[in-house]
Chains A and B, each alone.
Chain A
Amino acid sequence: ETGVTQSPTHLIKTRGQQVTLRCSSQSGHNTVSWYQQALGQGPQFIFQYYREEENGRGNFPPRFSGLQFPNYSSELNVNALELDDSALYLCASSSNTYEQYFGPGTRLTVT
Protein backbone atom coordinates (compact mmCIF):
# COMPACT_ATOMS: atom_id res chain seq x y z
CA GLU A 1 0.00 0.00 0.00
CA THR A 2 1.56 3.32 -1.08
CA GLY A 3 1.03 6.51 0.85
CA VAL A 4 0.07 9.94 -0.40
CA THR A 5 2.65 11.45 -2.71
CA GLN A 6 2.98 15.01 -3.95
CA SER A 7 5.00 16.68 -6.66
CA PRO A 8 7.02 18.74 -6.95
CA THR A 9 8.68 19.02 -3.53
CA HIS A 10 9.69 22.62 -3.98
CA LEU A 11 8.71 25.27 -6.50
CA ILE A 12 9.67 28.87 -7.10
CA LYS A 13 7.37 31.06 -9.18
CA THR A 14 7.06 34.72 -10.03
CA ARG A 15 4.08 36.85 -9.08
CA GLY A 16 1.38 36.66 -11.76
CA GLN A 17 2.38 33.20 -12.99
CA GLN A 18 0.29 30.05 -12.78
CA VAL A 19 1.20 26.83 -10.97
CA THR A 20 -0.06 23.24 -10.92
CA LEU A 21 0.58 20.95 -7.96
CA ARG A 22 -0.06 17.22 -8.09
CA CYS A 23 -1.14 14.62 -5.60
CA SER A 24 -1.53 10.85 -5.75
CA SER A 25 -3.89 9.61 -3.08
CA GLN A 26 -3.36 6.55 -0.96
CA SER A 27 -4.54 3.34 -2.58
CA GLY A 28 -8.30 2.85 -2.14
CA HIS A 29 -8.99 6.42 -1.04
CA ASN A 30 -11.70 8.27 -2.99
CA THR A 31 -11.56 11.66 -1.25
CA VAL A 32 -8.79 14.21 -1.67
CA SER A 33 -8.46 17.48 0.22
CA TRP A 34 -6.03 20.34 -0.28
CA TYR A 35 -4.72 22.60 2.46
CA GLN A 36 -2.53 25.69 2.50
CA GLN A 37 -0.18 26.15 5.44
CA ALA A 38 1.55 29.49 5.87
CA LEU A 39 4.68 29.61 7.99
CA GLY A 40 3.88 29.27 11.68
CA GLN A 41 0.18 28.62 11.08
CA GLY A 42 -2.08 25.62 10.98
CA PRO A 43 -3.28 24.22 7.66
CA GLN A 44 -6.20 26.05 6.05
CA PHE A 45 -8.73 24.03 4.06
CA ILE A 46 -8.84 24.96 0.35
CA PHE A 47 -11.24 22.39 -1.14
CA GLN A 48 -12.11 18.73 -1.23
CA TYR A 49 -12.93 16.34 -4.07
CA TYR A 50 -14.98 13.20 -3.82
CA ARG A 51 -15.32 10.95 -6.86
CA GLU A 52 -14.17 13.74 -9.19
CA GLU A 53 -16.66 16.33 -7.87
CA GLU A 54 -15.85 19.29 -5.63
CA ASN A 55 -17.34 18.51 -2.24
CA GLY A 56 -16.64 21.56 -0.13
CA ARG A 57 -14.57 24.69 -0.44
CA GLY A 58 -12.86 26.92 2.08
CA ASN A 59 -12.44 30.68 1.97
CA PHE A 60 -10.17 30.83 -1.08
CA PRO A 61 -10.71 32.88 -4.27
CA PRO A 62 -11.67 31.27 -7.59
CA ARG A 63 -8.10 31.50 -8.87
CA PHE A 64 -7.56 28.40 -6.72
CA SER A 65 -9.04 25.51 -8.67
CA GLY A 66 -8.71 21.78 -8.68
CA LEU A 67 -9.37 18.51 -10.41
CA GLN A 68 -9.71 14.92 -9.38
CA PHE A 69 -9.11 12.17 -11.90
CA PRO A 70 -10.77 8.74 -12.23
CA ASN A 71 -7.81 7.14 -10.43
CA TYR A 72 -8.49 9.63 -7.57
CA SER A 73 -5.26 11.54 -8.07
CA SER A 74 -5.68 15.30 -7.98
CA GLU A 75 -4.31 18.64 -9.10
CA LEU A 76 -4.35 22.04 -7.47
CA ASN A 77 -4.06 24.98 -9.86
CA VAL A 78 -3.39 28.52 -8.76
CA ASN A 79 -3.61 31.37 -11.27
CA ALA A 80 -2.26 34.90 -11.02
CA LEU A 81 0.08 34.04 -8.16
CA GLU A 82 0.48 36.54 -5.35
CA LEU A 83 3.26 36.85 -2.80
CA ASP A 84 0.86 35.68 -0.05
CA ASP A 85 0.40 32.39 -1.90
CA SER A 86 3.85 31.38 -0.67
CA ALA A 87 3.16 28.43 1.62
CA LEU A 88 3.33 24.69 2.10
CA TYR A 89 0.52 23.03 0.13
CA LEU A 90 -0.67 19.78 1.60
CA CYS A 91 -2.78 17.09 0.01
CA ALA A 92 -4.68 14.59 2.13
CA SER A 93 -6.68 11.55 1.18
CA SER A 94 -9.30 9.54 2.99
CA SER A 95 -11.92 6.91 2.31
CA ASN A 96 -15.23 7.40 4.10
CA THR A 97 -13.43 8.00 7.38
CA TYR A 98 -12.69 11.13 9.33
CA GLU A 99 -8.95 10.43 9.57
CA GLN A 100 -6.95 11.98 6.78
CA TYR A 101 -3.63 10.83 5.42
CA PHE A 102 -1.32 13.63 4.37
CA GLY A 103 1.38 13.81 1.77
CA PRO A 104 4.75 15.48 2.46
CA GLY A 105 3.63 18.75 0.86
CA THR A 106 4.86 21.09 -1.85
CA ARG A 107 6.71 24.19 -0.73
CA LEU A 108 5.74 27.07 -3.05
CA THR A 109 7.69 30.30 -3.01
CA VAL A 110 6.35 33.28 -4.96
CA THR A 111 8.83 36.07 -5.65
Chain B
Amino acid sequence: SQQGEEDPQALSIQEGENATMNCSYKTSINNLQWYRQNSGRGLVHLILIRSNEREKHSGRLRVTLDTSKKSSSLLITASRAADTASYFCATPPYSGAGSYQLTFGKGTKLSVIP
Protein backbone atom coordinates (compact mmCIF):
# COMPACT_ATOMS: atom_id res chain seq x y z
CA SER B 1 0.00 0.00 0.00
CA GLN B 2 1.12 3.55 -0.64
CA GLN B 3 2.06 5.68 2.35
CA GLY B 4 2.74 8.87 0.46
CA GLU B 5 0.67 10.39 -2.31
CA GLU B 6 2.25 13.03 -4.51
CA ASP B 7 0.33 15.84 -6.10
CA PRO B 8 0.11 16.72 -8.93
CA GLN B 9 0.64 13.49 -10.84
CA ALA B 10 2.17 15.46 -13.72
CA LEU B 11 3.57 18.97 -14.01
CA SER B 12 4.83 20.82 -17.08
CA ILE B 13 6.68 24.11 -16.75
CA GLN B 14 9.02 26.37 -18.72
CA GLU B 15 12.71 26.42 -18.00
CA GLY B 16 13.50 29.02 -15.34
CA GLU B 17 10.16 28.66 -13.56
CA ASN B 18 9.75 27.13 -10.12
CA ALA B 19 8.21 23.69 -9.65
CA THR B 20 6.30 22.68 -6.53
CA MET B 21 5.29 19.14 -5.71
CA ASN B 22 3.33 18.00 -2.69
CA CYS B 23 3.26 14.79 -0.73
CA SER B 24 0.72 13.61 1.81
CA TYR B 25 1.25 10.64 4.09
CA LYS B 26 -0.91 8.66 6.48
CA THR B 27 1.00 7.58 9.58
CA SER B 28 3.53 9.09 11.97
CA ILE B 29 6.99 9.40 10.53
CA ASN B 30 10.56 9.64 11.71
CA ASN B 31 11.65 11.34 8.54
CA LEU B 32 10.54 11.94 4.97
CA GLN B 33 12.75 11.71 1.91
CA TRP B 34 12.53 12.88 -1.67
CA TYR B 35 13.98 10.93 -4.58
CA ARG B 36 14.33 11.64 -8.30
CA GLN B 37 14.07 9.07 -11.06
CA ASN B 38 15.14 9.76 -14.61
CA SER B 39 13.25 7.86 -17.31
CA GLY B 40 12.73 4.48 -15.62
CA ARG B 41 16.22 4.24 -14.19
CA GLY B 42 17.45 4.06 -10.59
CA LEU B 43 16.36 6.56 -7.98
CA VAL B 44 18.62 9.28 -6.66
CA HIS B 45 18.29 10.52 -3.11
CA LEU B 46 17.69 14.28 -3.03
CA ILE B 47 17.00 15.33 0.52
CA LEU B 48 15.87 14.01 3.91
CA ILE B 49 13.87 16.04 6.39
CA ARG B 50 13.40 14.82 9.95
CA SER B 51 10.09 14.99 11.77
CA ASN B 52 11.36 17.75 14.06
CA GLU B 53 12.40 19.95 11.13
CA ARG B 54 10.07 22.28 9.27
CA GLU B 55 12.21 23.34 6.33
CA LYS B 56 15.40 22.23 4.67
CA HIS B 57 17.41 23.53 1.73
CA SER B 58 19.86 21.89 -0.63
CA GLY B 59 21.03 23.93 -3.59
CA ARG B 60 17.94 24.77 -5.66
CA LEU B 61 15.78 22.43 -3.58
CA ARG B 62 13.61 23.49 -0.69
CA VAL B 63 11.59 20.97 1.31
CA THR B 64 8.99 21.75 3.92
CA LEU B 65 7.32 19.39 6.35
CA ASP B 66 4.06 19.90 8.24
CA THR B 67 3.56 16.95 10.57
CA SER B 68 0.20 18.30 11.81
CA LYS B 69 -1.14 18.06 8.26
CA LYS B 70 0.95 15.01 7.38
CA SER B 71 2.27 16.73 4.29
CA SER B 72 5.50 17.82 2.67
CA SER B 73 6.37 19.91 -0.33
CA LEU B 74 9.37 19.97 -2.65
CA LEU B 75 10.21 23.23 -4.41
CA ILE B 76 12.70 23.30 -7.26
CA THR B 77 13.70 26.86 -8.07
CA ALA B 78 14.91 28.12 -11.46
CA SER B 79 14.17 24.79 -13.12
CA ARG B 80 16.33 23.39 -15.90
CA ALA B 81 15.60 20.89 -18.66
CA ALA B 82 17.82 18.43 -16.76
CA ASP B 83 15.30 18.50 -13.89
CA THR B 84 12.85 16.60 -16.10
CA ALA B 85 12.19 13.41 -14.12
CA SER B 86 9.74 11.72 -11.76
CA TYR B 87 9.91 12.78 -8.13
CA PHE B 88 8.88 10.55 -5.25
CA CYS B 89 8.43 11.08 -1.57
CA ALA B 90 9.27 8.15 0.69
CA THR B 91 9.00 7.36 4.36
CA PRO B 92 10.51 4.64 6.56
CA PRO B 93 8.55 2.97 9.38
CA TYR B 94 8.39 5.12 12.48
CA SER B 95 10.50 2.70 14.51
CA GLY B 96 11.43 -0.92 14.97
CA ALA B 97 13.04 -3.54 12.79
CA GLY B 98 13.39 -2.78 9.13
CA SER B 99 13.50 0.90 9.87
CA TYR B 100 15.38 1.53 6.68
CA GLN B 101 12.73 0.13 4.34
CA LEU B 102 10.93 2.84 2.42
CA THR B 103 7.33 3.28 1.36
CA PHE B 104 7.00 5.36 -1.79
CA GLY B 105 4.19 7.35 -3.31
CA LYS B 106 3.25 7.15 -6.98
CA GLY B 107 5.35 10.15 -7.91
CA THR B 108 5.04 13.44 -9.75
CA LYS B 109 6.24 13.48 -13.34
CA LEU B 110 7.92 16.83 -14.00
CA SER B 111 8.58 18.07 -17.53
CA VAL B 112 10.72 21.18 -17.94
CA ILE B 113 10.40 22.69 -21.40
CA PRO B 114 13.51 24.47 -22.73
Q: Chain B at the A interface: mostly helix, strand, loop or mixed?
A: loop
Contact (Cβ within 8 A) B102 A45:
yes
Which of A44, A59, A98 interacts with B92 by CB under 8 Å? A98
Q: Mark A32-56, 1 if CB is under 8 A from B, else 0.
A: 0101000011111100100000011
* Shortest distance from the beta carbon of B29 to any chain A beta carbon, whole Å: 11
Count of interface residues, chain B, beta-carbon cutoff 8 Å: 28
A104 touches B100 (CB 8 A): no
Whether B31 is near chain A, meaning CB under 8 Å from some CB there, is yes
Quick check: A90 and B97 within 8 Å, CB to CB? no
A42 touches B2 (CB 8 A): yes
* Complex Cα spacing A88 to B41, Å: 8
Which of B13-21, B61-69, B104-112 participates in binding chain A? B104-112
In the bound complex, residues from chain B placing their C-beta under 8 Å from that of A94 are 100
B contact residues around A42 at 8 Å (CB): 2, 4, 88, 90, 104-107
Whether B42 and A90, one on each chain, are in contact in the complex, defined by CB atoms closer than 8 angstroms, is yes
Cβ-based interface call for A102 (8 A):
yes
In the complex, B40 has a CB within 8 A of chain A: yes
B103 partner, pick from A45, A48, A103, beta carbons under 8 A: A45
Could you say which interface size class chain A belongs to?
20 to 34
Contact (Cβ within 8 A) A99 B33: yes
| Contact across chains for B100 and A4 when beta carbons are under 8 A apart | no
Q: CA A59 – CA B2 in complex, angstroms?
A: 12
Contact of B106 among A33, A41, A48 (CB under 8 A): A41
Contacting residues, chain B, for A59 (C-beta < 8 A): 1
A66 interfacial contact with B, CB 8 Å: no
Chain A residues in the interface with B (C-beta under 8 A):
4, 31, 33, 35, 40-45, 48, 55-56, 58-59, 88, 90, 92, 94, 97-105, 107
Interface residues of B (CB under 8 A from A): 1-2, 4, 30-31, 33, 35, 40-45, 48, 88, 90, 92, 97-107
Give 8 nearest A-B pairs by CB, closest first. A56-B98, A42-B104, A102-B42, A102-B43, A104-B42, A99-B45, A45-B101, A56-B101
